[in-house]
Amino acid sequence: MLGPVLLAAARSDRMRRVVAAAPVTRPVVNRFVAGDELHRAMDAVRTLTSSGLDVTLDHLGEDVHDRATAHATRDAYLRLLETLRDQKLAARAEVSVKLSAFGQALPDGGHDIALDGVRRVAELATEIGTTVTLDMEDHTTVDSTLAVLHELRREHPSTGAVLQSYLFRTEDDARALATAGSRVRLVKGAYKEPAGVAFQDKRDVDKAYVRALRTLFAGDGHPMVGSHDPRMIAIAQELAARHHRGPGTYEFQMLYGIRTAEQRRLADEGERMRIYVPYGADWYGYFMRRLAERPANLAFFLRSFAPTGR
Ligand code: FDA
């Protein structure tokens, strides 16, 4: 019930100021975010990759409304890729980008501005031997994001996309993207969406997730199972066996700090397990979506406000 309230708060500047200024917020944020700075994120990447996990890095930021900030996002990703190259981590670490941080919503030509910025990132990623995945944001951005994907895949065919099972359109999108070389991360969806475009009942979202999983595993692409849900993970493993897919022809993905024992278990079983590692100072929207997903996370956060010693 609190989920929609938190998702609305995730887009409120006033709430952003209140939450970010609370001194108790930081330790809770640290559970989900690898640090404000690149060098902190690289510490996490080294720890994860040396224990057999792969990563995808997200330089936090979204809903950018001026060109200068959009360019700063692009430059931050270029720095990140140079660092991965210099530290010889490109084989195990890719990057995830949100096109709204590249200026997608700018009123004059936002789509093209975002495409130009992310194209530079994809070029460097290809050059150093890694990949880019385009995160999916709210439903108003899906057409533009899939059009950017289509453009990028001409030159960089392993550019990945994200599909959200809560959207009615996703079954069709999954069919269209289940083709050779196509990397698709399937998630349930983290934004507040209207009933006209998305399932509202969690059971319907889960059923739609399974339908899209079936389509992706039956196709020729590379499914990326972005979920912490044990049922979805078990179904994905059954589908992999049914379609005679070996490890490396699909992968599991989970968020940094969430179900870490399960991350370890899957990697130890020989599955490819990739951890989504967010870093940067603009953690507010990401953090609020994590609280909205799980009442226990919210309770943990609220408990940290309680005075100590009683
Ligand atoms: P669900 O929410 O049903 O949870 C299943 C179980 O997982 C819970 O019972 C709990 O045990 C555990 N769990 C789930 N969330 C937790 C949390 N926050 N804290 C602690 N435990 C938790 N969304 C989007 O709209 N666009 C995107 O681009 C992405 N990208 C993305 C990348 C990756 C790698 C992942 C894993 C997820 C995303 N998401 C996303 C988020 C996604 O849409 C979804 O909101 C969350 O993954 C939660 O859904 P689950 O499938 O994990 O299941």
State the Cα–Cα distance between residues 164 and 225, nearest whole angstrom: 11
Token pair in block for residue 161: 């996309």
Q: Is the pTM of this model over 0.85?
A: yes
Tell whether ligand 1 has an atom less than 6 A from the beta carbon of residue 35: no
Res 163: pLDDT? 98
Residue whose CA lies nearest to ligand 1 atom number 26:
136
Residue ranges covered by each domain of the chain: 34-282
Res 305: pLDDT? 65
Tell whether ligand 1 has an atom less than 6 A from the beta carbon of residue 263: no
The total number of residues shown for the chain amounts to 310
Which positions are annotated as active-site residues?
135, 185
Tell whether ligand 1 has an atom less than 6 A from the beta carbon of residue 96: no
For the segment(s) 34-282, the CATH number from 3.20.20.220, 3.40.50.970, 3.10.20.30, 3.40.50.720 is 3.20.20.220
Cα–ligand 1 centroid distance for 293 (angstroms):
7
Tell whether ligand 1 has an atom less than 6 A from the beta carbon of residue 278: no
Cα–ligand 1 centroid distance for 217 (angstroms):
20
Atom of ligand 1 nearest to the CA of 206: 3
Where is 261: in which H helix or E strand?
Answer: helix 260-268
Res 2: pLDDT? 67
Burial of 88 (0-12, 13-18, 19+ CB in 10 A): exposed
Q: Please say whether the beta carbons of 134 and 156 come within 8 A.
A: no
Residue bearing tokens 């889960």: 206
Instruction: Identify the CA nearest to 275 among candidates 252, 309, 303, 242.
Output: 252
- What does the pLDDT profile of the chain (310 residues) look like in tens digits? 567 877 887 888 777 777 777 776 788 888 999 999 999 999 999 999 999 999 999 999 999 999 999 999 999 999 999 999 999 999 999 999 999 999 999 998 999 999 999 999 999 999 999 999 999 999 999 999 999 999 999 999 999 999 999 999 999 999 999 999 999 999 999 999 999 999 999 999 999 999 999 999 999 999 999 999 999 999 999 999 999 999 899 999 999 999 999 999 999 999 999 999 999 999 988 988 898 888 777 777 777 666 544 4
State the Cα–Cα distance between residues 231 and 126, nearest whole angstrom: 34
Atom of ligand 1 nearest to the CA of 135: 28
Res 175: pLDDT? 98
Our CA angle for 91, 92, 97, nearest 5°, is: 100
Q: Please say whether the beta carbons of 76 and 59 come within 8 A.
A: yes
State the Cα–Cα distance between residues 126 and 105, nearest whole angstrom: 26
